[in-house]
Amino acid sequence: MKTTEVISRIESLVPSGFAASWDNCGVQIAGSEREVQKIAIALDPLPQVVSSAIEWGADFVLTHHPLAIDAKLPSKLDWFHDVMKQVFCADVTLFASHTSLDVQFKGAVSWLGRELGLDNLRVLDPVAEDEAGDILGYGCIGEYASPVLFTDFVEHVAQLSGCGVVALCGPEPEKVGCVGMCPGSGSSLMDKAFSLGADVFITGDMKYHPAQESVGAVLDVGHFSLEEEMMRRFSAILSEELGGEVEVKFFSGRNPFAYHVQGEGVCRP
């Protein structure tokens, strides 16, 4: 399968035309048109991830986060320069599906809502409708058939996300019946979620003042945990779409945050 065909098949799943206007989806670094036999998928285009992918023999690297949102030159010997050097020398294509993937509610982005067993799962913030009539947008919201205890809910989210440290803010309900969520930096949608009846909102990168002002309970499981699993699942979706014509492999990233727990030392969520 040629490079252009791989891009076409990715775009059929997550069209860049639905990406946010500020975003940089699509080709980040162009490689030569070639026969693609191996596609590496990861959350971030970091040097160690790209190096592992190239050592594996990847002809094409697909990440969620772009190499850069705004165009810039490799004017410093930093990680950006390192990634560009590796990709150029290997002559592979680096491609990003960022908000083009985030708005695909029926895809991997809403995995946590499905794993939590929420009913009537739907888009939290609709932004468009595709040719099939499916609503696209950011985040999701749904309900439990029977409310669950808040403490049990938090533990369930921690287990599913693999997040060892969950930050909580806002008034905590006794029970949880309606849940809203948005992976990544989704705190801007929490007020909308609460206005639609959510008892809890799940996201990452919660900031200090919004945490103080929250009218409902918020679980911050970090930017990494939800999107790492999202890309793991997207790799399986893409592999199925390609029907075995190309080998697809997910490359795990690394949470940039570690925490010092008193009496226990440093731990990673």
Q: Which domains does the chain have, with CATH numbers?
A: 3-101+227-250 (3.40.1390.30), 103-221 (3.40.1390.30)
For 192, the token pair is: 């909308």
Q: Is the pTM of this model over 0.85?
A: yes
Contact 220, 161 (CB under 8 A): no
Q: Cβ of 22: how many Cβ atoms within 10 Å?
A: 8
Note the pLDDT tens digit of each residue in 157-185.
Answer: 999 999 888 999 999 999 999 999 999 99
CA distances from 168 to 153, 184, 205, 248 (A): 12, 16, 12, 36
Note the pLDDT tens digit of each residue in 71-102.
Answer: 899 999 999 999 999 999 999 999 999 999 99
Q: Is 178 exposed, middle or buried (0-12, 13-18, 19+ CB in 10 A)?
A: buried
Sheet with 200-203, strands from edge to edge, namely 119-129, 135-149, 175-181, 200-203, 217-220, 167-169
What one-character DSSP code corresponds to residue 264? T
